[in-house]
Structure 1
């Protein structure tokens, strides 16, 4: 229903328990004003490093980062880069604020990984097959929202009706996204009709995509919906909600949507990030991917 690497020592009950008292304050200031999803992921990465070294951040040396990096040989390149980037970031933050006497991560050179984005972009037939196989209206609406707008999973789950504005054709969703940035995302007429069909509460704080009980849809539950839909469509095991975001970007550009429009829709701070998907015809108009 819809609703709500191996370390040197035994993992503590919570990520924060991996830190000494001084490091708890350091990590809290580092994560201040980040989104809940981002903060959770970054805290877990830094806690994993703290468990591995068994040291407070003030005692960390370059050799510790190198050893941890080498210990993650079984992890994917993307996972290893993400973890190392998180640790380098907190060390830099600590040094700038005077929490740490030196930045041990400054000398660690993070390798540029192979760009495998093309492996995570679904074709139109694959994407439509994923949606067609989902018969539950709420679950289908979730998949349609992710593909039809390019929202991140956490953004879709956090969307409330107070964030939605009706327009003559479709509407606008106001998204409070990554990095505390606000953007306005176009919602096509067909998608607006679909999400209206699963609306269970007329209040402004009601979720746009409700859970089975009418309450907010939890990110973990939404993740399971996407994984099950991908499996039914015969997609790779690592297919995720972010693959629908990639598909949105690629298919809109293929349909001739201007690259700056796609950039704004996705909330990319850099145009270079958007142009990784393809090159768009600047004179073309957008497409209703769900029509």
Structure 2
């Protein structure tokens, strides 16, 4: 969609939901810039940990920072514009949330733009009662809100704990966190699971540490610009869909499991949160499949190794159909 189409749809959505908003000139200007630029630091995607990343943390004696994982959507603010996690301009749903925050908490938006004007790249999570794909913020006291989970400068993310010091200086909110320095892999596994399961960690935990030498470890997918990061999720989504009976065309079993299944299910829920219209009819399933496949190829190509594309498409189609034919529990 164009700048004008997205803006008009955002306003229409807010009016339809009877959500108050402010048409902040600075927000609109930065949003407009998104259509002529790209993110200065590529927004990253998170993977679940493998054995190598756990061994690396223990062997290198890394101090690991575990941040609460909010249940929302990534948005990047920079002097080049406002972008979503795939590097494209934010959607009308995301813009709508920001326009409400401009009215509900204008000082927060102003502080973000002041940081951007100083040259920082600010990565935020947009979440709230009206933006919670997994349902962890359904009882939150604000319709939309923001928390800052990354600050970048000169093409790199600033690692913790320096990041927290800077965010305090900028007077910007950030997720609660705790630091651990595990002695062995088993202790690390236990701590990751225990902390990610805490109520105050919402969807789970995001583990981060400064970038270290990774030679000899298969950890490419965890290396970001300036830091190492991965996610830990042990909770089931608060929002689920009732499964519906679908006539089976074949007895052949589709085996998609583990991290790949989680990524597909999570991304479908996020897509539903951003674009419910695409789930209005089974005719849109090919579009949904293409969206999810593009996401996986871009964000998690290693998860697709050894998986037959036809099986993957059938799995995505089945899950999409559950959402189309089902209702929230």
Common fold, TM-score beyond 0.5?
no
Report the structure, 1 or 2, having the larger strand content. 2
Report the structure, 1 or 2, having the larger helix content. 1
Query: Which TM class, normalised by the smaller chain length?
Result: 0.3 to 0.5
TM-score calculated relative to the size of structure 2: 0.30
Which structure would you say has the larger Rg? Answer: 1
TM-score calculated relative to the size of structure 1: 0.33
